Amino acid sequence: MSASHSVQGKEAPYYYVPADSGHPVRTAVALLAMGLGAAAWVNDVSWGKWLVLVGVLGLITVLYFWFGDAIHESETGLNSKRIDLSYRWGMSWFIFSEVMFFAGFFGALWYVRTITTPWLGDLDHQLLLWPDFQAVWPNFGPAGVVEHFQTVGPFWLPTINTALLLSSGVTLTIAHHALRENHRGKTMFWLAATVLLGFIFVACQAYEYHHAITELNLKFSSGVYGSLFYMLTGFHGFHVIMGATMLTVILIRLARGHFTADHHFGFEGAAWYWHFVDVVWLGLYLFVYWF
């Protein structure tokens, strides 16, 4: 993330176009290594996991220098309001793509619960295909196909996690208002609190997974319920980690004197992403844990 204007108050009168860069090519090579390594890994090829590791480390390294270049461009006054608008549209479309990503999984959950399960439990399917199938949610498939498991209810850990994320949204909003009032110390304090709440959420979810696997026998292989539970909550947890990492970078930049009260899109873009993560969790809390 970068701000759209220099901290010196300078603003370029044009749309800045960077010089040719090797960052996209290096990123593509790192992603290719990750993809090939993952394909080899799932097929039990010994070097697959090491190639994935090389790809991940390469991607992190390239992004570090790439983002560093973008930050340098911003802080030296090369960007104009047109660049600012481009950043805002880019972040908006990125978050929209993430909305569609989760919409697909929520749609799968709805389809399985309201269409597939009753459909497989009707008289024709019971007589011809699934004589032992019970059309209830969650279901264990035909008798003996899925090991018995228990579901994860809303109390108490998911409710605590909901409180953590909602609280983090409040602390982030306070930090944003403090930055707009040019109170840098207050901004850093409340932003640090947001990051801390985010990582506590991740730790709580890791504990929830351990409890679900060891005590409830709920695994990724526990039928459609288990796979959807871990896909939805797991991908959300990954987004929380990414959002907290983004906010950590913004916190470091604040400590280095970046951003002003008027020009701080790097902060705003990360805040948009974090609020999106909060909203998605509310959907998960209701439709995965309650209903």
pLDDT in tens, 207-224: 999 999 999 999 988 888
Query: Structure pTM?
Result: 0.85
pLDDT over threshold 90, residue 268: yes
- Token pair 């059309």 in the structure block, residue: 135
**Residue 23 neighbours by CB under 8 Å, 6+ apart:** 62, 65, 66, 69
Distance between CA atoms of residues 266 and 289, nearest Å: 34
The predicted pLDDT at position 183 comes to 94
> How many CB atoms are closer than 10 A to CB 147?
13
The predicted pLDDT at position 128 comes to 67
Residue 37 contacts residue 49 (beta carbons within 8 Å): yes
The predicted pLDDT at position 4 comes to 39
Higher pLDDT, 169 or 74: 169
The predicted pLDDT at position 20 comes to 85
Distance between CA atoms of residues 272 and 266, nearest Å: 10
pLDDT over threshold 60, residue 289: yes
Q: How confident is the model at residue 53 (pLDDT cuts 50, 70, 90)?
A: very high
198, 177, 175, 199: which is closest to 187 by C-alpha? 175
pLDDT over threshold 90, residue 189: yes
Mean pLDDT of the chain: 89
pLDDT over threshold 50, residue 2: no
Angle between helices 223-255 and 265-284 (to 10 degrees): 160
pLDDT over threshold 50, residue 1: no
- Angle ∠(247,251,256) on CA atoms, nearest 5: 145
157-173 tens-digit pLDDT? 999 999 999 999 999 99
The predicted pLDDT at position 35 comes to 96
229-259 tens-digit pLDDT? 999 999 999 999 999 999 999 999 999 989 9
Q: How confident is the model at residue 118 (pLDDT cuts 50, 70, 90)?
A: confident
Handedness of CA 222, 224, 226, 230 (dihedral sign): positive
Distance between CA atoms of residues 30 and 52, nearest Å: 9
Output the CA–CA distances (angstroms, integers) from residue 110 to 114, 144, 229, 233, 279, in the order listed.
6, 25, 13, 15, 18
Q: What is the DSSP string of 178-231?
A: HHHTT-HHHHHHHHHHHHHHHHHHHHHHHHHHHHHHHTS---TTSHHHHHHHHH
pLDDT over threshold 60, residue 9: no
b/e string for 155-178 if b means 16 or more Cβ within 10 A? Answer: eebbeebbebbebbbebbebbbeb
The predicted pLDDT at position 271 comes to 96
For domain 81-290, the question of CATH label 3.30.390.10 is answered with no
83-101 tens-digit pLDDT? 888 899 999 999 999 999 9
